Amino acid sequence: MSKVSYQEEFSPQLQWKETVCHGISLVISRMTFIAVSPGYVARSRSLLGLDVEVFSEKTVTLNEVKKNNLFFDMENKLELRVGDSLTFYLSKN
């Protein structure tokens, strides 16, 4: 079983900020990344289940999540601007 390093897989577009883990038999991890460089996050589809693209700060995005919310749309991509944060949760038992 190979281990995934999200810090490496999402660079250079997303920079890791923090990871918080809770649990013993069921571990839930919260990972936060900051968008730092425009471009398509190459492995986002295989690792997160959706496409993520980072645009420049001034670009108007068409598909964004403005508050804490669940984003689940396999047809569209998540669009971030440089400076935006992306937090996702991963559970494992």
pLDDT in tens, the chain (93 residues): 345 677 778 889 999 999 898 888 888 888 899 999 999 998 888 888 788 999 999 988 776 565 555 555 556 788 899 999 988 888 887
CB atoms within 10 A of CB 13: 20
Distance between CA atoms of 47 and 35, rounded to whole angstroms?
17
pTM: 0.77
- DSSP string computed for 32-61: EEEE-S-EE-TTHHHHHSSEEEEE-TTPPP
CB 76 within 8 A of CB 69: no
